[in-house]
């Protein structure tokens, strides 16, 4: 995971201390296909880094339709 993070433009400006603090705050989690990671309306208090695979993000309308 370190290689992925340190190559991402968002994290390039981190000094070694900042990079170490970021690594210490991370938790790696595997999810299965179809598993819900978070629900619409939940507080945005986490950041997700996708190391492998893909994620579908959708938003439900008032009539129940989903838009991607």
Instruction: Decide if pLDDT at 10 tops 90.
Output: no
Output the average pLDDT for the chain.
Answer: 87
Q: For the chain, what percent of residues have pLDDT higher than 70?
A: 99
Q: What is the mean pLDDT of residues 58-66?
A: 82
Task: Tally Cβ neighbours within 10 Å of residue 20.
Answer: 11
Instruction: Decide if pLDDT at 30 tops 90.
Output: yes
pLDDT band at 3 (very low <50, low <70, confident <90, very high): confident
What's the chain's length in residues? 68
Question: Could you tell me how far CA 24 lies from the centroid of its own chain?
Answer: 16
5 in helix, strand or coil? helix
Rounded distance, CA 20 to CA 3, Å? 13
Q: What is the mean pLDDT of residues 30-48?
A: 90
Cβ(14)–Cβ(2) under 8 Å?
no
């Amino acid at each position: 995971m370190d290689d992925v993070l340190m190559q991402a433009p968002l994290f390039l400006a981190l000094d070694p201390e900042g990079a170490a603090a970021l690594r210490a705050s991370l938790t790696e989690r595997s999810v299965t296909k179809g598993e819900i990671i978070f629900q619409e309306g939940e507080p945005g208090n986490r950041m997700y880094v996708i190391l492998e695979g893909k994620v579908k993000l959708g938003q439900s309308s008032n009539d129940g339709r989903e838009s991607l």
